[in-house]
Amino acid sequence: MKITLLIATRNAHKVAEIRTIMGEGFRYLTLNDIADSPDVVEDESTFAGNATKKAVALAQWLERARTAQGGVGISRVEAGASGRMFVLADDSGLEVDALNSAPGVHSARFAALDTGAPGNSPTEQNNAKLLRLLKDVPASGRTARFCCVVALTPASLPTSSTSSLIRQSDN
């Protein structure tokens, strides 16, 4: 029986990438498949902190929803016949050496940080800000890496606040 992975995103492109990496040995669900799933604020200072926070918060929410009288969430049938389900969450971003690893965990909202606007910035605005900040940096000094951290935790986690780091990629 396949284990169910709840991929903690609504981003179809990210889901496709994760499915390609993980293969067909799992049953996949996303946040689009679950009514009323909470939005988890990614306000930790590291990619691992954000990925862990999201995985654990969603696992705890699923457990509360499953055990609540008339609650919402994922039933045993939706989780698969085995009932074994894990939450897989990630956080990722760009780290530019000349900018002391910025934008880092703020990559998606990098330009919005200047305006105080809530939410993520359009890619074009983030790129324009990066180029503006790097205008005096020679090409040889424009080194960077894309970092991604993935956290995995069982979906039945009523009190724990940890997850397991699956893989951290620095390129």
Selection from 68, 82, 62, 66 nearest residue 155 by Cα: 62
Catalytically annotated residue among 36, 39, 90, 91: 91
> Is 97 labeled as catalytic in the residue annotation?
no
Q: Which residues are catalytic?
A: 91
